Amino acid sequence: MRHYSLPHLERPSHYVVFCDCGRELKRFSDRKSVTAKGQFDTWLEQAEIAEQWCSVCYQDKVEEAISEAGQFEASPSPLQSYINDLSISIRQALGQMDLSRASLEEKREAAKKISHLAATACAALALQPIPIADVFVLTPIQILLVQSIGRIYGVPLTAKTAFEIATNIGLGVLLRQIFIAMIKIGLPVMGGLLTSTYVYMSTYYMGRVAQVYFEKGRPLTPEELQEVQSSRSRAEERLRELEHLRKSDLITDEEYQRKRRQIVDEI
């Protein structure tokens, strides 16, 4: 998605939103009470992720993401190789326990571990110079995360089914929040420590919601989502403080990683 201000001298200015393919999606005009840019900001806060591309481009991105998550080619793309490596790490982590005999607490701990692995992988991608429009590169990892947590709870899933479940439990909201955060930060690409931390928290939160979903066998109620979101908000505030300590060289990288894990484990 691209967006531009189109100023005019004798008539109201416009703020226009385009799909990556060049098709116009939205057009906002200046009003007495609110600017066109202000209307765009409001729309972006409320828009579903599918509204930020034309229907053709959005469907292409969804199909590509599902394909990336489900294919294992002889000569895989760099992203597929990355997902393959993550998949191997997840299988190794799950191979250390007997899922058929695992207690509920053991399953929860396994789900946390998998969520950490996926969140770390997404955070690493967020540090790379990937255009904002390619926010869907995170989707295959989040699909793999939902598949893996489903396996922990004895629910095998295809990539397509995992994507549908992820969408039902908040993947669209998660992607929109990441997209909005990157625009507000003002980054032309998906880079920077702040974005990386935000992506880490968002992905871990996704795993936490998936864990509760499979335990209950249903989507979370608004009240349950609000409870998890409140825990996440508190964790984000503590993580910002932790980032400041690391940037100021007041703690080592090892201390940062250990304390970060302790914070997100409380979500």
pLDDT at 190: 43
> Which of 95, 200, 3 lies closest to 87 in space, CA to CA?
95
- Alpha-carbon distance of 117 to 83, in angstroms, equals 11
- Alpha-carbon distance of 207 to 149, in angstroms, equals 8
Name the 3-class secondary structure at 102: coil
pLDDT at 111: 92
Most confident of 63-67, 74-78, 89-93, 178-182: 89-93
Give residue-wise pLDDT tens across range 110-124. 999 999 899 888 888
Q: Measure CA 237 to chain center.
A: 18
Residue carrying structure tokens 């005019």: 8
Per the CB < 8 A criterion, the answer to whether 157 and 142 are in contact is no
Residue carrying structure tokens 């979500």: 267
Average predicted confidence (pLDDT) for the chain: 76
Q: What is the 3-state secondary structure (H, E, C) of 38-86?
A: HHHHHHHHHCCHHHHCCHHHHHHHHHHHHHHHHCCCCCCCHHHHHHHHH
Judge whether residue 187 has pLDDT over 60. Answer: no
pLDDT at 152: 92
Residue carrying structure tokens 């503590």: 238
pLDDT band for position 74 (50/70/90)? very low
- DSSP H/E element including 194: helix 193-216
- Alpha-carbon distance of 197 to 205, in angstroms, equals 12
Per the CB < 8 A criterion, the answer to whether 8 and 14 are in contact is yes
Give residue-wise pLDDT tens across range 76-118. 667 677 778 888 888 888 887 888 888 999 999 999 999 989 9
**pTM recorded for the entire structure:** 0.67
Per the CB < 8 A criterion, the answer to whether 94 and 151 are in contact is yes
> Which of 250, 251, 208 lies closest to 231 in space, CA to CA?
208
206 Cβ contact list (under 8 Å, min separation 6): 115, 142, 145, 146, 166, 169, 170, 171, 174
> Which of 127, 110, 112 lies closest to 208 in space, CA to CA?
112
